[in-house]
Structure 1
Amino acid sequence: MKVVVDYGKCTGLGICESLAPDVFEVNDDGELELKQSSVPEGQLEDVEAAVEGCPTEALRLEPDDSSADTE
């Protein structure tokens, strides 16, 4: 899975960073930076919580083109 950010909606509150700090970081200017665009193994639950917890709905998950999961 990959993380997609709508930077036009993001307000840099940092909820995502607190839930998945290996993926999200709010810089000193209050702007969101993705540390990784693909969800690291074992962290899907944390990233899903960050996406669901985003008050501006600026985050979403999409299938990663390089993965061929058939679950």
Structure 2
Amino acid sequence: MITEIGKTLVAIGAGILLLGGLLWLSGGTFRHFPIGRLPGDLLIQKEHFTFYFPLATSILLSIGLSLLLWIWQSFLR
């Protein structure tokens, strides 16, 4: 069981490393991608106060990660 956890952590780490490398090598191509400023994100600005809650971004990332993990799990079976 502990070896399975180790393999999973190594796979997650390799995936994060790969994603980070792709973003780094993209050279700012994704700079104009509107993630983090979607229409459902809450932004309240007052004179000396700013509150930002990325609600739509969080939901979109949650759906995307759930789909990715579901696909990954179906391949492991």
TM-score category (smaller protein)? under 0.3
- Higher-Rg member (1/2): 2
RCO greater where, 1 or 2, for CA within 8 Å and sep 6 or more?
Answer: 1
- TM-score under structure 1 length normalisation: 0.25
- TM-score under structure 2 length normalisation: 0.23
- Of Structure 1 and Structure 2, the greater helix share is in 2
- Of Structure 1 and Structure 2, the greater strand share is in 1
